[in-house]
A and B are shown apart, each in its own frame.
Chain A
Amino acid sequence: MGVAEHSKITFLELQRKKVHRYVIFKIDEKKKEVVVEKTGAPGESYDDFTAALPENDCRYAVYDFDYVTEDNCQKSKIFFIAWSPSISRIRAKMLYATSKDRIRHELDGIHYEIQATDPTEMELEVLRDRAS
């Protein structure tokens, strides 16, 4: 299982140049590598991101979360979300679970990781709690 060069480049763009709000990765079974499925513009919201994730298939995603801390500083943290809904096929869950380490290794600079098995586990509150 490899990680496509394009995936790494898109992540670096999110991290350094802030041109994406989120990136959704998919495992391409034929080419046996992790490719970029979708990216989101900086203007998009968290709800757009949740809507872009399929309901019954697994994905990896990276989301750039902006928030204001208690002392009024604007901060930004990058979340890696392993989206593995319980209604997806077992084969998909296994595939994504075993390849997760590979992609995490490539994406250097992730602040927090979340594993979500249903929409309630990746709510905005969950991200906010983790970040603070």
Chain B
Amino acid sequence: MAHLAETYACVPATERGRGILISGDPRSDTITYCNGRSVIIRQLGAPLEPSIYGEHAYQATVARFSPNGEWVATADVSGVIRIWGRYGDRALKNEFRVLSGRIDDLQWSPDGLRIVACGDGKGKSFVRAFMWDSGTNVGEFDGHSRRVLSCAFKPTRPFRIVTCGEDFLVNFYEGPPFKFKLSHREHSNFVNCVRFSPDGSKFITVSSDKKGLIYDGKTGEKIGELPMEDGHKGSIYAGSWSPDSKQVLTVSADKTAKVWEIMEDGCGKLRRTLECPGSGGVDDMLVGCLWQNDFLVIVSLGGTITIFSASDLEKPPVSFSGHMKSITSLVCLLQGGQKVFLSGSYDGIITRWIQGTGYVGKVVRKGSSQIKCLAAVGEEIITSGFDNKVWRIPLNDDQCGDTEPVDVGSQPRGIAVAVQIPELALVSIDSGVVMLRGLKVISEIKLGYAVTTSAISPDGTEAVVGAEDGKLHIYSISGDTLTEEAVLEKHRGTITAICYSPDASMFASADSNREAVVWDRESREVKLKNMLYHTARINCLAWSPDNHLIATGSLDTNVIVYELDKPASNRITIKGAHLGGVYGVAFGDENSLISAGEDACVRVWKIEPQ
């Protein structure tokens, strides 16, 4: 049996030039955001146990808890809102198609009976408010001509709704049933976010024209603004009120967050400017914020979440990150006596994780090119991307040493490295393999067939090369030449993964026809077959350190663990490990399996053999 021990969640998906909206539940100290098709609910006190909802058919954009904390309303780019129960089996309460385009913001009414949603209506309605259980409309929202970026519901009676959008307008509606009351055109650029203070007396709009304006909550008249002298120097993407309605947090593209005090008459005064730690690049632009209880949660464009303490603004913040895009490879490295996992995603981000702690850091590389293949051995990592270069980078915690790339002639399709002889690496390219010793290409061997992946035995004397037609070619390595020893034909699909067991007595191979086979190295006989339980291409495979278990991860989102001395039918299946497919598996120790996949999350599973 296998059960989930830890999840290292992904970070919110961000887009340059737009803010993102994260929300939370103050009662249980949770924040929620979206990435891809998943909605992530994260407890600030227990970061290793997020819960992830993956039922949307399209990319999810915004998620909000209902005022009583029982329900969650989530919206996606197709204009659909799903309302589901937060606890238990997440039963779907209702699903409505609210707009004909993407939904950018949604908010519950304070009594939990109505929901207002806004977004891109493709020329038709841009905003809709409806009853949560029946979906009946509760107002007419005209007045906008372009995408509506944010909407807000007044948290106290009498109910009001404010919307703001790309047409620079801020519209005020009275109701229910909601009708247009007045409109403001005070901003000179996109109005990114509108939020009511928790006591309902005021609301603030922030815009890409670097201004923040404050209005009266009941009448909608402008009463003040955030002073320009200490103001932001870049577009303001989001704002959030403090629970006592006296302060506002704003985040901006100028990479700072500011806390303002808002007086009774609506004037604002800068209280403090917060700088988030970062390297100073585009990725540090701040795009989302949330003020919840004592926490100021700030999200940057690169996906880093920084948490400040509201009561003690001087205290250095806690920051953590993760992946934003799908993870393509996962390797395990021993660093300073500790097992560290490196996960690489195709956009070039490599993140370090330690079991039990979670996010430890990001590997900062020079020239973060995209990553297709990643291998790690000793104190080095070897990466290759979509160009012809292979980088061998010495790793010192999370700092990378200086290194030069090696040009291998064509795009590498796989990298294999000999565990005991780290300088020896085999790079598979389209028509052959290239042998590298250190940073030098010692030989380029044309093999006459399309190579997909390869593996070198830990002692560096033997290599197995997998071909596109399903054949496994075994070569012995001597100096800089490969001599073909045998060809094994059993697979019925392109070979996708080959891995030697840690004691080098066996190797396992997997193909795109869902089959995995374990071979004995000496005799080249099949040791364990019929490992056919996946329903789609196998992407990755890994051996446990005691040579006893083999794990395979596949595009069908499952991870299957087989025991070597039992028949293949006695397998342990982990269903739905990663939405979209599993792209990397590795063993932490005998009983823990780490997997990473398309949903940009890394999960740790504890395996109990039967």
Contact = CB atoms under 8 A, between A and B. Distances in A.
B519 to A, nearest CB: 17
A2 interface: no
B533 A120 contact: yes
A120 B530 contact: yes
B532 interface: yes
A87 B532 CA distance: 13
Interface residues of B, number: 5
A87 B492 CA distance: 9
Interface string B575-587: 0000000000000
Contacts of A118: 530, 532
B396 interface: no
A76 interface: no
Contacts of B530: 118-120
Interface string B516-534: 0000000000000010110
A123 interface: yes
B569 interface: yes
Interface residues of A, number: 6
A86 interface: yes
A71 B229 CA distance: 80
A50 to B, nearest CB: 9
Contacts, number: 12
Interface string B458-501: 00000000000000000000000000000000001000000000
Q: Which one of A86, A87, A118, A120 has the highest number of Cβ atoms from chain B below 10 Å of its Cβ?
A: A120
Contacts of A119: 530, 532, 569
Nearest to B571: A120
Nearest to A47: B567
A87 to B, nearest CB: 7
- Residue from B492, B533, B569 with most neighbouring chain A CB atoms (10 Å): B569
Interface in B564-600: 569
Interface in A37-90: 86-87
A120 B492 CA distance: 16
Interface string A94-132: 000000000000000000000000111001000000000
A92 B228 CA distance: 83
A86 B492 contact: yes
A118 B492 CA distance: 13
A123 B569 contact: yes
A123 B532 CA distance: 12
A34 to B, nearest CB: 27
B568 to A, nearest CB: 8
Contacts of A87: 492
A119 B569 CA distance: 9
A10 B533 CA distance: 34
Interface in B302-342: none
Nearest to B530: A119
A90 to B, nearest CB: 14
Interface in B429-482: none
A119 B567 CA distance: 12
Contacts of B569: 119-120, 123
Nearest to A121: B532
A119 B492 CA distance: 15
A27 B592 CA distance: 49
Interface string B530-541: 101100000000
A82 B319 CA distance: 60
A101 to B, nearest CB: 28
Interface string B177-201: 0000000000000000000000000
Contacts of A120: 530, 532-533, 569
Given A86-B492, A119-B532, A119-B569, 9 more contacts: A87-B492, A118-B530, A118-B532, A119-B530, A120-B530, A120-B532, A120-B533, A120-B569, A123-B569
12 contacts: A86-B492, A87-B492, A118-B530, A118-B532, A119-B530, A119-B532, A119-B569, A120-B530, A120-B532, A120-B533, A120-B569, A123-B569
**6 tightest A-B contacts by CB?**
A120-B532, A119-B530, A118-B532, A120-B533, A123-B569, A119-B532
Interface of A: 86-87, 118-120, 123
